[in-house]
Amino acid sequence: MNGVEKVKAGLARVREWSPAEWVTGAACMVVAAGLLAWAWWLWPEWRINPDLSHGFFALPLVVMLWIRARAERTEGAGPGLSARAGAALVMVAGLGTLASAFLATVYAIALGWSATPTLFLLGVAAAGAASVALLLAAGREVRWVALGWPALVIPLVLVLSGPLPPGTYARLSLSLQEGITVGVLEVLRLFGVPAVRVGNVINLGHTSVGVEEACSGVRSLISCVLAGLVLSALLLRSPRRRALLVLAAAPLALLTNFARSLTLTLLARSGVDIAGAWHDGLGFAVLGVTTALLAWMATALEEAPGKRAEKAEAEPGRGVPGRRSFAGVASLCSLGLAAGWIGFVAARTERAEADGGAVPELARIIPEVPVAPGWTVQTREDLGRFAGILRTEHLLERSYQRAGAEGQAPLQVTLYAAWWPAGAASVSSVATHTPDACWPGTGWEIVAAESVRRDLPVADGGAVGEAEQRFFRFGRMPQWVWYWHVVDGAPLRPFEPRSWRDQLKMFFQQGVRRDAAQAFVRLSANRPWEEVADEALVAELLAGMAELGVPVGGSGPSK
């Protein structure tokens, strides 16, 4: 049969569809269009976020799993469901899709369409929509696919191809960072290599190696778990073998990433510059080796074709709802409402261009040669390596130092500023990278009692408003920190970016917010505010900070 005849046969088959098949076909078309829109929206995230680079394979994997689910239909695979149970599952999946879509638009309005919670919930909505289509396609009057393991993996692929919730990601990353650092240190000591751990930094004497967020293993963990799920669905048939492969994926990913961190540490000890090619090359090697090992395990675990037990066709009367199922029509309506609501909110959202707005002159705001005399200045030169994680190249940090009074340590003041044009990063992603989240991982210990939000009085009787104050210790070294997250020219009200409840609360209190330029400003010193407030240098720095939206002298509305 040639191609034309196949098309004619297919059209003839479509004309013979039952009402249940028409409902299922309509649901599949809506889901396919939604998945294309979802992939188009997440494409920039996959391109700039290394942790999500596996997302490029999401839609091809969905197609492959769908084909495998259709093949299992002919093999009689997949558990049977009663009509009542199937109808309940379809309804739950449809309502879950609608609820996820609504929550995604709430976060989009409050924090932006590129916000991590928004993208995660869009992935959950896509997974729910795919579940509706799969459940309908497995109905006894449709029976396009079998409701087996390949079909169940499809929603998991969609969820894992988007970003994790900020709180989950932060806790997972910090736990993996600490575990890898401790493990590498113990292995070094086991072989007699002198090393000292400070937070997530391993001091080797003449050099030090830091286990940063990008080295935590989150990327390889998620990618390899996804690979294990897909390979188990495509290459294996036995539930036990599938479970064994999936359970092996995470430990294998952690083990290979640990080997990578240990290798980089030993290379650094030998005097090799591990930044750049070594760091990135070994990272990709870990993903490739782990995926290859999982594929080898799947091939080794699979039964020979001649030993597979022949399975009878599914019994009649078992499956998910049939032609008159209210659940199928209701779920199709839920898919349409979810797609329409997301499209409506997206169309009504005014989004600024990422390159819009004047770029502040950070080099002038944080002067290399201050007017105040007696200060030496040191500019941090390695901030560029954080540009990808922070999603901005507008970063500058300078430390100022002056001799202290007799018997006192030198006075140190540091100013750090980062700026994002409108649309370059979400509020939640910027708010995630605060001293509270980042400093403890490098050895600093936070003193919770000093964590307050306060106004900072200045010499002329005014105040620097709405500062988040923190106090850290690194051994005997103290550091007072004050920082501001400025959105659209005004400080953002305090909220926990890893708390969904707090983000929703901000939405209902603050209402609609368009994408706007953001700045993050951090001022720190080795003395409390009352001892540095009268310094001429501090007054000079405050004048520059005011240009970034920090409310100096009581100016600037609160958000």
pLDDT at residue 6 in the model: 60
Higher-scoring residue by pLDDT: 465, 542: 542
Mean pLDDT of 62-71: 91
Task: Judge whether residue 308 has pLDDT over 60.
Answer: no
Q: What is the pLDDT of residues 425-438, one digit of tens each?
A: 777 678 778 888 77
Element (DSSP H or E) covering residue 155: helix 149-160
CA dihedral in degrees (332, 335, 341, 343; nearest 10)?
-110
CA–CA separation, 443 and 196 (whole Å): 12
Whether pLDDT at 63 is above 60? yes
Lowest mean per-residue pLDDT among 90-94, 218-222, 527-531? 218-222
The H or E element that residue 187 is part of is: helix 166-190
- As a whole number of angstroms, the distance between CA 385 and CA 144 comes to 50
Compute, in degrees rounded to 10, the torsion defined by CA atoms 368, 370, 374, 378: -20
Give buried/exposed letters for 373-397 (b at 16+ CB in 10 A, else e): eebeeeeeeebeebeebbbbebbbb
pLDDT score recorded for residue 558:
37
Helix (H, G, I), strand (E, B) or coil at 545: helix
Question: What is the three-class DSSP state of 359?
Answer: coil
Is 522's pLDDT higher than 90?
yes
Residue 215 pLDDT exceeds 90:
no
Q: Which residue has the higher pLDDT, 97 or 497?
A: 97
**Per-residue pLDDT reduced to its tens digit, 7-51:** 556 666 666 677 777 888 888 898 999 999 999 989 988 887 777
Residue 395 · residue 387 · CB < 8 Å = yes
Q: Note whether 388 and 401 are within 8 A (CB).
A: no
pLDDT for residue 335 is more than 60:
yes
Instruction: Look at residue 314 in the predicted model and tell me its pLDDT.
Output: 42
Domain assignments of the chain as residue spans, ordered by start = 16-169+212-348, 362-547
* CA 197 and chain centroid, separation: 28
Q: How confident is the model at residue 352 (pLDDT cuts 50, 70, 90)?
A: very low
Is the pLDDT confidence value at 533 over 50? yes
- pLDDT value at position 483? 94
What digits encode the pLDDT tens for the residues 242-255? 999 999 998 988 88
Q: What is the mean pLDDT of residues 63-92?
A: 75
What average pLDDT is seen over the chain?
79
Per-residue pLDDT, 512: 42
Give the integer Cα–Cα distance in Å for 238 and 249.
17
The predicted structure's pLDDT at residue 238: 85
State the Cα–Cα distance between residues 135 and 152, nearest whole angstrom: 10
pLDDT on residue 83: 65
| pLDDT-based confidence at residue 423 (cuts at 50, 70, 90) | confident
Q: What is the pTM of this model?
A: 0.67
How far is Cα 135 from Cα 96, in angstroms, rounded to an integer? 14
Q: Look up residue 139 and give its DSSP letter.
A: B
pLDDT at 275 over 70: no
**What average pLDDT does this structure show over 462-490?**
88
Grade residue 73 by pLDDT with cuts at 50, 70 and 90: confident
Task: Report, as an integer, the average pLDDT of 517-539.
Answer: 92
Q: Is the pLDDT of residue 501 over 90?
A: no
pLDDT at 394: 93
